Amino acid sequence: MVNEGLAHVSDRLLFLAVVLYAFAMLGYAAEFAFGKRARATADAIEDEVARIEVPADVSALALTASGPQPVVERPASYHGPVLGDGTVVDLDAPEPRRRPWRRDPADPGAPRGGRGDALGKGAVALTVIGWGLHIGSVTTRGLAAHRVPWGNMYEFSSMIALIAVTTYLVILLRQPIRYLGAFVMLPVVCYLGIAGTVLYTPAGPLVPALNSYWIKIHVVAVILASGIFAVSAVMTALYLVRSRYDTVTAAGREPGSVARLGRLLPDAKKLDTNSYRVVAFAFPIWTFGIIAGAIWAESAWGRYWGWDPKETWSFVTWVIYAGYLHARATAGWKGRKAAIICLVAFAALTFDFYGVNLWFSGLHSYQGPGV
């Protein structure tokens, strides 16, 4: 018997979580555009302009309001120009820049950050609150149906999104990756939006084929790996944007509208390395999930592997991710080629979940919507 009251609470909690995630995404986007990273980039551009060399013959003139004057004797140890009144102009000394968002270390009362930074911190708070509501939604869904809350595509999508947000928050505790917030929240909101509309399924008991303790092993491993892979895909896509920006600017060309976002992103090598580490962490979990699924298949259907569409695409996903890690470890593949392989692997994973469940018939067809 389904507890309709708890099921209703679960739906409302997920709705509130999506709303908070959406507002958090806007906050992250505001910080990305106007926060410290954007300001630091503007400062770097100004510094580049400030480092433009002054022609050597400038030092032969005395700069005054009335025009060039005879050169005044300057110290032998200094190589900058001298004004008409004898004032030495130090070209090497950076000009102090006073901005309301830059804190002067000598002034403890100066503001520490601008509105963009405050919005970023607020976005993290909204993410944590939404994450708590999301956990509450999953928990009440399970209590309402008296089973594990990942028995259909709606619940599976909700769990993948929850793991993606959890992964982001865990990494955020170790590294300053708030710049990833908007790009992680966007697919999370889309996943949950699709789950709550197209894939929505009322709470109910498991179909007989899923009523096994293996659902707590095989499916959990697949959910964990899928959510973590989603974060790695975001990092990889941002790496390609940053890499494109670096390539275009190095060639002296103006970057396009998408590549221009790269100037606000961290170093391309850092993005590439972090993406690789996340994939390396998730891959063994995905491998275990496939092995556990094969054992479950033998118990349920009398064979370990039958090239069912779901099994086939899970294996295809495993092969592509394995090829990515192998290329990185042995051939030293880094950069664009490796990033493309990583994104192809995630595309295969996404198709394995959505495409196979919706468009193919097989032994896993019961995982489709409406169950």
Find the range with the poorest average confidence among 75-79, 190-194, 235-239, 315-319: 75-79
Chain centroid to CA 159: how far? 17
Asked if 237 and 244 count as a contact pair (C-beta separation under 8 A), the reply is: no
Torsion from C-alpha of 101, 104, 108, 109, nearest 10 degrees: -40
> How much is the pLDDT for 106?
36
Residue 3 pLDDT greater than 50, yes or no: yes
Chain centroid to CA 141: how far? 28
> How much is the pLDDT for 87?
56
Residue 367 pLDDT greater than 70, yes or no: no
Asked if 24 and 169 count as a contact pair (C-beta separation under 8 A), the reply is: no
Asked if 287 and 318 count as a contact pair (C-beta separation under 8 A), the reply is: yes
Global pTM reads: 0.77
**How many residues make up the chain in this entry?**
371
Residue 273 pLDDT greater than 60, yes or no: yes
pLDDT tens digits, 193-248: 999 998 899 988 888 777 788 899 999 999 999 999 999 999 999 999 999 999 88
Average predicted confidence (pLDDT) for the chain: 80
pLDDT tens digits, 94-106: 444 444 333 333 3
Helix ranges (DSSP H) in the chain:
4-34, 36-50, 115-145, 153-174, 181-197, 218-250, 268-301, 309-326, 336-350, 356-359
Round to whole Å and give the CA distance between 119 and 127. 12
Residues with Cβ < 8 Å from 107, sequence gap 6 or more?
A: none
